[in-house]
Amino acid sequence: MSDSRLFKILYYILEKGRATAPELASELEVTTRTIYRDVEALSGAGIPVYTEPGRNGGIYLLHDFVLDRALLSQGERQEVLAALQGISATGYTAGQDALSKLSALFNIHTGDWLEVDFSRWGKSACDNSKFDVLKTAVIQHREIGMFYANTKGERGQRTVWPLRLSYKSKEWYLKAYCPDKQDFRIFKLNRMSKLELSERTFAPMQYPEQQNMPPQTCQRITLLFSKEIAYRAYDEFDETQIRCMENGDLTASAEMPVDAWLTGYLLSLGPGVEILEPGYLREILARQAREIYEKNKP
């Protein structure tokens, strides 16, 4: 008999309120006879599970049942606590409360294995406060007002419905619905300012999945990093995409979108990087470098 299956049965009934034996048998890929044996085992272990016959009957738990720690293995308890510690590290105080209670219940202490700081260097108070406001807005489905600087260089006031915070490539973003534009938008947290949490709420909604968004055109990019800044290659490329040269230089190659982020990243590397392909990207970078020189020449 599988302890894991017993826990799955219990969790399923807790989540659904009731279940039938055929329903559980299909869900767990066992026979109905096995389900009835498992229900007897749960009852014998002191779990208040019972069955009601008839057309509208099924398998139930007493309404005030509380999950007992004995149903979780030592490893499963540690995984639960580790997950909650990850949540509490974001500053979500309810996660910290649950972590403390379950640590005492399980008699396990995971230690401080994770620390999360959402701020940039020198911007700790502002950035953490901003994240806290957005977290509250997402969880409570509350509208926010803000000033936002877009990619066109325009800075204006916006009203949005925050749906999800997303971390991508070392940056935090807010996925939201814009009632003025009547469309979904993504906002970069670093470009937000003067956030105001409104008392107005909105109906929960799902942000469209990535596969429903327009595909982004990518190009094979191959770069040569000089040995002096070779370590920078590991900031953006996976180890499998990097090849070491005998003289200490590195080449890195990957499919990437050719956009403003890429050219900005390449310019930040200065003369320590050479574009091997594509050729037209070399021309773009050279033109931008000349423009920078003309604006800043002594």
CA distances from 226 to 63, 178, 231, 266, 284 (A): 67, 45, 9, 13, 20
Write down the pLDDT at residue 104: 54
Structure confidence at residue 72 as a pLDDT band (50, 70, 90):
low
Pairwise pLDDT comparison (256 vs 108), residue with the higher score: 256
Write down the pLDDT at residue 239: 87
Half-sphere exposure of 62 (CA within 13 A, CB side): 9
d(CA 243, CA 228): 15
Candidates 135, 140, 187; CA nearest to 160 is: 187
pLDDT at 205 over 70: yes
* pLDDT-wise least confident of 173-182, 209-218, 236-245, 252-261: 209-218
Return the sign of the alpha-carbon dihedral for residues 66, 71, 73, 74: positive
Q: What integer is the mean pLDDT of 127-149?
A: 87
Please check whether residue 229 is in contact with residue 249, taking contact to mean a CB–CB distance below 8 angstroms. no
Question: 3-class SS at 2?
Answer: coil
Q: What integer is the mean pLDDT of 152-156?
A: 81
